[in-house]
Structure 1
Amino acid sequence: MEAMAQPKYKGKRYRLDKPELLAPAGNLEKLKFAVHYGADAVYIGGQKYGLRSNADNFSFEEMKEGVEFAKKYGAKVFVASNIYAHNEDVEGIESYLRSLEEAGIAAIIAADPAIIEVAKRAAPKLEVHLSTQQSTLNWQAVKFWKDEGLPRVVLGRETSIEEIATIKEHVDIEIEAFIHGAMCSSFSGRCVLSNHFTDRDSNRGGCCQSCRWKYDLFEDGREDNGNWVSEEVQMMEQRASRPSPFKPGVTQIPLFQPEDNQFTMGSKDLCMLEHIPDLIEVGIDSFKIEGRMKSIHYVATVVNVYRQAIDSYMADPEHYVLKPEWIEEINKAANRPLNTGFFYDTPDHEDHIYEPEEKAVPYDFAGLVMAYDKHSGTAVIQQRNHFKPGDEIEFFGPEGTFFKQVVGPIQDEDGNELNAARHPLQLIRLQVDQPVRNFDMMRKRKG
C-alpha cells in the first residue's frame, strides 16, 4: 500500500528545480554503476589529498575515462581533495589540481583554505565546493565562503532542516547535504581517536573506524594498600581485574561479564528517503549519498531508489506518494539501523549503537547481466557471488527491471552444465523468467 508523504518540516519552503543526486564512487566500476543507476554526479578520490585513503581511488587515466563515461549520460565528476594539509602535504598540490582540470573534473571538494586558494589560482576551470569537513552550520559562515568565491557549500552533518531554511533565506548559494549513509560519532568527521589508537590520521584519509570497535569498560577499584573491600569487589577483581595502565597501584575492575556484549559507540546510518518533499522544498540543491568504500550493490540500490523518489516527486508534487517498495529496497542495502540524523532533532542514545551490531544487509550481489537473448530467454550472467540451481534470486535495474525467480539449470560459456557458479567473474548462461538488460543486477538472500 502506498502512503502519502507526511511532511515533518513546518517552516518556510522554497520550490527548487530538480536537485542533483550525487553518488559515491570508490573505483571506476562503481562510477559506471552509479551513473547507470541514475546519479547526476559522482564524487571520487584521487591518489592524494582525499579522506578515503583505503578506497581504490583513481589514477588520472581512470579519471579521464570516468569523465568521458559520465559525459555520455550528462553526469559530472567531482574529486574529494578534503584533507587538512600539513606542510609536507602542500608540495605538489598545484600540479595535482592542474592535472584534475586537464582530466575534465568538474569540481573539487576541499576543506583546507590553502588548497582552496591554490585551486582558484592554478586551476580556474575547477569549481571548488566547500567540504563538510569545514563543519559549516550557519548562514554567516556560508556567506563568508560565498564571498570567497565558492559556488557551493557542503553543510556539516549536524545542520538541521530549520537551519538550512535560514541559510537559504540569507545566502544565494548552492547547498549540498548528506541525505543517506554512515554518520560520524564525532563532529563532522573531526575524529582523533584513530590518531590516538593507531597513528592513522582521520583528517588526512586514514580513519580506522575506531567508533565501530568493540571495547571493554573498566572502573578504578581499590588502591593496593591492604584496605578492606567487600566480598563482591574481591570476586570481581578475581574474575578479570588488572593493574590500571594510567594509575600506578590502582586495580581496574571490569564492568562486563565474560558473556556480555562489548561496548561500541557508532552511530546509526542516515536515511532521508521518507522525507524527499521536505529536502526538495527547503532548497537543498544537491542530495549527497555517503559511501565511497561501499559495495557496487549498495551504490546501485541506493542511487536507484532515490532516483525514483526524486523523479516521482518532481513529476507531480501535489500527489507524490512514498512507495513501500522503495523502503524495502533501501533495507536490502542497509548496513546498520537507519534514522534521520540531525535534520529534525538532535540524536540521542537511541540513535547510537552501543553493542556489536548485526549487519543488516540480507542480500548478496550475485551476478551482473552481460547479455540477453530475447528469442531463447537466456541471459549471460557475470558471477559475483556463489549461487546454484534452486536458489531464489532477484533481478533489478535502472530501467525498471524487477522480478524474482528460482535459478534453473546453469551452464558455462561452453555449454557445460554446472551444479553451482563458484568462480568470481565467470560467465554463466541462465534462463530468466522476464527480459533483462545490460547492467541489470542479480542478487540473492544471504544464508
Structure 2
Amino acid sequence: MIKRPEVLAPAGTLEKLQVAIDYGADAVYIGGDAYGLRTRAGNFSFEQMRAGVEYAHARHAKVYVAANIVAHEGNLPGAEEFFQHVQETGVDAVIVSDPALIQTCVLAAPGLAIHLSTQASSCNWETLNFWQDEGLERVVLAREVGIEEIKEMRRHTDIQIEAFIHGAMCIGYSGRCVLSNHMGLRDANRGGCAQNCRWKYDIFDMPQLGQKNDLTSVGPDGKKEAFSMSAVDMAMIDHIPDLIDAGVDSLKIEGRMKTVHYVSTVANVYSAAVDVYMRDPAHYHTDPAWVDDLWKVAQRGMSTGFYYGTPTEQDELFDEGRERPQYRFIGEVQAYDAATQTVTVQQRNNFGIGDPIEFYGPGFTHYAMTLQDLFDEDGNAIDRAPHAMQIVTFHCPHPVRPGDFLRGQRVRRPHQRKTVQHA
C-alpha cells in the first residue's frame, strides 16, 4: 500500500501557519526567536508557538521548529532553555543541523523529536543510517540529491525522508554560502543572508591611467541579469508520482518569508495533487490548473533542480528578467449572504469596480468574475477600496466561504514564462 506523504508548508507568522493548514498542509515549519536561519521572518515567541501548536493539533496537523544555524562560539549558551521551552509548547519536532545543538537538545529536552536540517547536506544512505543510529527521526535531504539517489537511500534505510519540492533554491551547497558574510558581514549560516546572489552584476572595462574614471559595461546588450548568480525556483508539480514512489515521506515547500498569497496557493496546489494521486495512482496526471496557480505566485522561472540531472546555465537567471506574479492578494472573505448574493471582504490591496478578480479557497476551489459594484462598511457605493483592511461588500452570484481569498489580476502582464525541466 502506498503511504501518503506529508505536505509540509512554511509559516513565517501565526497567520501564515493558520492559512497553510486551512489550505491543506499536513504540517508546517516555523522559526523561534533564536537559532534559526530566517532572522528577518516573522519568527514565533513561545506563546505564539503554543497557539500555533494548538491550532495545528486541533486540525490533525503538525508543527516543526527550525533551529538550524551553524553555531559559533557564543551561540550555544541558552540553547538548553530554548529547547526546553520549545518542548513545553508541544511542537512535534525541531529541525537542527549543528551536532552540538543536536546533543544539547537530546540532553535538555529528552523525547523531543529531531529532524536533521538540509544544511547538513545529507546525500547518501550511510549518512542517513548514522543519524538514525544517533536517535534522529527524520533527515531533510540536501537539495543536490537526485531521484535515483533517493530510491537507493530508501532501499537501505527506513528513517523518514524529507525533500524540497517547491520554492527558491540557494546557489550555495544546500544553503551553506559565505557570499553574504564576505560582501555584507551578514552570516547566512546564522540567519543573516543578504541574498547577494540575487543582486545584478556586470563586467566593466577599467579606465586607463589618466583617463576619466568612468566604468563602461562590456556585458551582453539587452540582458537585464546577464551575470546574476541566482538559480530559478524549484517546481516538482509534474513529478509527484516520482517523489512518492521514491519513498519521500515529507514534501517540503520553501518560503518562510513568503506572503500569505504564496503560502495558501502552493499548499493548496500540492495538497490537491497528492490527494488526486492517492485516490488513483494508476491514472494520475498533472492538472494544468495546478501549474497555472503556481505561476500566479511565481517570482522567477522554474526547474526541477538536481532531481533529474545537474542543472545547467538554463537553470539560472542569466538572461531573463525576474518573473513577477500576474496576480496580487487583494482580500479575504468574511461572510457570504446567499439570499442577497452579497460577499463581505476584508481588503488587503487596492481594488475596484471593473477589475477582474478571482476567489480561491481550500480544496482548490476557484471562481472568477469582474467586479460590478462595491460598497463600504456603511453601505455607501464606492468605486474603489483603497484603504488597508477596510471592510467592503459587493454582489457575487457564486457562493463563496469565509476564509476564501481574492486575487486581483495585474493589468500589465510579465513576459512569457520559461520552464526548464531535465529529462
- Aligned-partner Cα distance in 2 for 1:220–1:175: 50
Confirm or deny that 1:256 pairs with 2:219: yes
SS at match of 1:96: helix
**Which residue type is aligned with residue 261 of structure 1?**
K
Report the equivalent of 1:8. none
Question: 1:401 Cα shift?
Answer: 2.7
Task: Return the match for 2:100 from 110, 114, 117.
Answer: 114
2:87 corresponding residue in structure 1: 101
In the alignment, does 2:140 pair up with 1:147?
A: no
Match of 1:352 in 2: 316
Q: Indicate conservation of the 8 Å contact 1:405/1:433, yes or no.
A: no
Q: Does 1:126 align with 2:112?
A: yes
**1:288–1:259 Cα change, 3 Å:** closer
2:67–2:96 Cα contact (<8 Å) kept: yes
Distance 1:351 1:261 in 2: 16
Other structure's SS at 2:75 match: helix
Q: Which amino acid aligns with 1:384?
A: R
State the partner residue of 1:372. 336
Separation in 1, partners of 2:271, 2:262: 14
TM-aligned CA deviation for residue 359 of structure 1: 2.7
Letter in 1 for 2:41: A
**Pairwise CA distance, 1:265:** 1.2
Counterpart of 2:384 in 1: which secondary structure? coil
Residue of structure 1 in register with 2:67 after alignment: 81
Give 1:356 deviation, angstroms. 6.4
Which residue identity does 2:8 align to in structure 1? L
- What is the TM-score with the length of structure 2 in the denominator? 0.94
**Distance change >3 Å, CA 261–CA 329, structure 1 → 2:** closer
2:71 counterpart SS class: coil
Q: Is 1:382 matched with 2:346?
A: yes
Identify the residue that residue 20 of structure 2 maps to in structure 1: 34
Distance 1:178 1:214 in 2: 26
1:138-217 equivalence runs, <5 A = 138-217=124-203
Cα distance between partner residues in 2 of 1:151 and 1:259: 50
- CA 1:334 to 1:257, structure 2 compared with 1: closer, same or farther past 3 Å? closer
Q: Is the 8 A contact 1:51 1:81 kept in 2?
A: yes
- Structure showing greater radius of gyration is 1
Corresponding residue of 2:297 = 333
Deviation string for 1:246-302 (max 9, x for gaps)? xxxxxxx74238976353110010000001110101100000000001111111111
1:65 aligns with 2:65: no
**2:283 is the counterpart of 1:283:** no
Per-residue CA distance 1:142-185 (angstroms, 9 max, x = gap): 11111111110000000001110111111111000000000011
Are the equivalent residues in 1 in contact too, given 2:33–2:44 (CA < 8 A)?
yes
Q: Residue 418 of structure 2 aligns with which residue?
A: none
Q: CA deviation at 1:364?
A: 0.4
Count of residue pairs the alignment pairs up? 410
Runs of 4+ in 1 over 4 A off after TM superposition: 219-222, 257-260
Q: 1:130 to 1:429 in 2, by over 3 A?
A: same
- RMSD over aligned CA atoms reads 1.7
Q: CA deviation at 1:354?
A: 1.7
Q: Which of 427, 430, 445 is the aligned partner of 2:391?
A: 427
Segments of 5+ residues of structure 2 without an aligned counterpart are 412-423
8 Å Cα contact 2:207/2:214 also seen in 1: no
Q: 1:446, 1:157 → 2: CA distance?
A: 33
Contact 1:40 1:74 in 2 (8 A): yes
SS of the counterpart of 1:215? coil
Conserved? CA contact 1:370–1:381, under 8 Å: yes
- Normalization by structure 1: what TM-score? 0.89
Q: Distance in 1 between matches of 2:377 and 2:325?
A: 31
Q: CA deviation at 1:140?
A: 0.9
> What's 1:247 paired with?
none
How far apart in 2 are the matches of 1:259 and 1:143? 50
Partner Cα distance (2:158, 2:171) in 1: 31
**Aligned twin of 2:214:** 240
Residue 419 of structure 2 corresponds to: none
In 1: Cα distance, 2:132 partner to 2:85 partner: 25
How far apart in 1 are the matches of 2:408 and 2:88?
Answer: 42
CA distance in structure 2 between the aligned counterparts of 1:264 and 1:134, rounded to whole angstroms = 26
Task: Tell me what 1:413 maps to.
Answer: 377
Report 1 or 2 for greater relative contact order, CA contacts < 8 Å, sequence distance ≥ 6. Answer: 1
* Identical residues among aligned pairs (%): 50
Counterpart amino acid of 1:170? H
Cα pair 1:401 1:436 within 8 Å, conserved: no
- Superposed displacement of residue 383, structure 1: 0.3
Q: Using a 3 Å threshold, how does the CA distance of structure 1 residues 55 and 238 change in structure 2: closer, same or farther? A: same
- Corresponding letter in the other structure for 2:183: F
What residue in structure 2 maps to residue 446 of structure 1?
410
Distance of 1:159 and 1:220 partners within structure 2: 41
